[in-house]
Amino acid sequence: MVEARRLAYTIEAYNVSHASENKIHDDAVAKKLGFTGGLVPGVEVFAYASHLPVERWGRAFLERGELAAKFGKPVYDGRMATASAVEAPDGSLQIHVESEGVECATGTARLLSTPGHAPRLADYAFMAPPDLSARPPADEASLAVGLYLSTVPAVLDRERHETYLRDVRETNPIYADEGIAHPGILLRLCNSALRENVVLPPWIHVGSTMRNLSLARVGEVLSARTRVVANYDKKGHRLVDLDCLLLAGDRPVAHVLHTAIYKLRHLAPQAWGIGETRRADQSS
């Protein structure tokens, strides 16, 4: 019997967004909500997890791989986090991210035989974001099903990309050597689609499924065109699902289903996840 392939990757987590508009990443605000401190963004936890399929499949994963991840418990700034994976009989990687003995995220990565058909760009209307001062509050109207949310296209310059690689402690040389945009940089565009279009209270990214379609590179103009596909209540939280087409110029580079709690249940201490009680970072 052949032993299943196992991979592991340990990093010192860093809160890239400690100064962001989303105060869930601010130590003082997060503590008021019952957390130990500011949360490392789910996008960066996704970035940690993405190291493993790239280690397993290399550039091919960035061209035609898929990673689905859910975030259940916080990862905190300065704490050690370990992403581990076991290869399943179907060839997929079953991924777990743990920090200080607590399971924080789970995921499944797979290498597709082909990138598949990219969604049609014409199905994702470009709607220029409003001025920041004119953004409406996030609610059932401003995030109604069927609405389109876009980001302002922006060049991914080398300095920004190299800074991101340092911040997520990425050790795979493929990104710096070949100028390939890191999956975390791409996934951040989905968060930007929310942030650039609505004003959010402290909010939490809880899951994403990203299917890679082609390589995005340093020097290209990156953007997201998204549409709201669901807006719903789950045990007192208000969640939104975004169908996101990520672009380098007009070329699709990834297709993402992105889920966030945009309105925490009364901003109560038990607001992390669906169903935890007592403190937000402790099991019931």
What's the CA gap between 160 and 158, in Å, rounded? 6
pLDDT of residue 105: 96
pLDDT of residue 117: 79
pLDDT of residue 80: 94
pLDDT of residue 31: 65
pLDDT beneath 70: ranges in the chain:
1-3, 17-37, 266-284
Residue type, 231: N
Q: Which domains does the chain have, with CATH numbers?
A: 6-271 (3.10.129.10)
| Token pair of 76 as six digits | 């905190």
Residue type, 102: V
pLDDT of residue 270: 42
Angle (CA) 56 81 89, round 5°: 35
pLDDT of residue 18: 55
pLDDT of residue 204: 87
Query: What does R_g of the chain's alpha carbons equal in angstroms?
Result: 18
pLDDT of residue 20: 57
pLDDT of residue 203: 86
pLDDT of residue 272: 37
Residue type, 100: E
What's the CA gap between 21 and 91, in Å, rounded? 40
Q: Contact 264/237 with Cβ under 8 angstroms? A: yes
Q: Contact 173/182 with Cβ under 8 angstroms? A: no
In order, the DSSP letters of the chain are -PPPPEEEEEEE---TTTTSS-GGGSHHHHHHTT-SSPBPPHHHHHHHHHHHHHHHHTHHHHHHEEEEEEE-S--BTT-EEEEEEEE-TTS-EEEEEEETTEEEEEEEEEE-SS--PPPPGGGS---PPPPGGGPPBSSTTTT-TT-EEE---EE--HHHHHHHHHHTT---THHHHHTBPPHHHHHHHHHHHHHTTSB-SS-EEEEEEEEE-S--BTTSEEEEEEEEEEEEEETTEEEEEEEEEEEETTEEEEEEEEEEEEE-GGG-GGGSTTT--SSTTS--
pLDDT for 9-61, tens place per residue?
Answer: 999 988 876 555 655 556 566 666 666 667 788 999 999 999 999 999 999 99
